[in-house]
């Protein structure tokens, strides 16, 4: 089960917010079930997302690519440095993120 495939399903059937500001907001509120951040996102964005996710106990997947590549994966014509999963829909993305982070 790959995180990328599950992300596409979550985008289609669940509720996902794109962007660092929205992701950090939902991490602070504890309403996100999981988060994804690009490895090449600005360092301050990565640091804040990892910090607030750790405080809330929310799993984070560091996407091994740039913000542009994450935007392409999300089928968006712009860069996406981070996103938060609010509802999984038909996907098992939270499970995939937890297993991907445990294997590292």
Q: Could you tell me how far CA 93 lies from the centroid of its own chain?
A: 9
8/31 Cα distance (integer angstroms): 20
Please give the mean pLDDT across all residues of the chain: 93
- Residue 50 in tokens: 């990892």
Q: What is the pLDDT of residues 30-49, one digit of tens each?
A: 999 999 999 999 999 999 99
CA dihedral 45, 85, 8, 76 (to 10 degrees): -50
CA distances for 35 relative to 9, 60, 65, 95, angstroms: 15, 5, 15, 12
Q: Could you tell me how far CA 2 lies from the centroid of its own chain?
A: 13
Sketch out the chain's domains with CATH numbers: 3-102 (3.30.1330.30)
> 1: pLDDT confidence band, cut at 50, 70 and 90?
low
Residues 52, 35 contacting (CB under 8 angstroms) = no
Q: What is the pLDDT of residues 87-99, one digit of tens each?
A: 998 999 999 999 9
């Amino acid at each position: 089960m790959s995180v990328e495939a599950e992300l596409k399903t979550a985008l289609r059937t669940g509720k996902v917010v794109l962007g660092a500001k929205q992701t950090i907001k939902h991490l602070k509120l504890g309403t996100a079930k999981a988060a994804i951040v690009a490895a090449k996102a600005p360092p301050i964005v990565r640091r804040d997302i990892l910090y607030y996710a750790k405080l809330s106990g929310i799993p984070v997947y560091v996407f091994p690519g740039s913000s542009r590549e994450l935007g392409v994966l999300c089928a968006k014509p712009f860069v996406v440095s981070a996103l938060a999963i609010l509802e999984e829909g038909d996907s098992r993305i939270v499970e995939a993120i937890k297993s991907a982070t445990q294997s590292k």
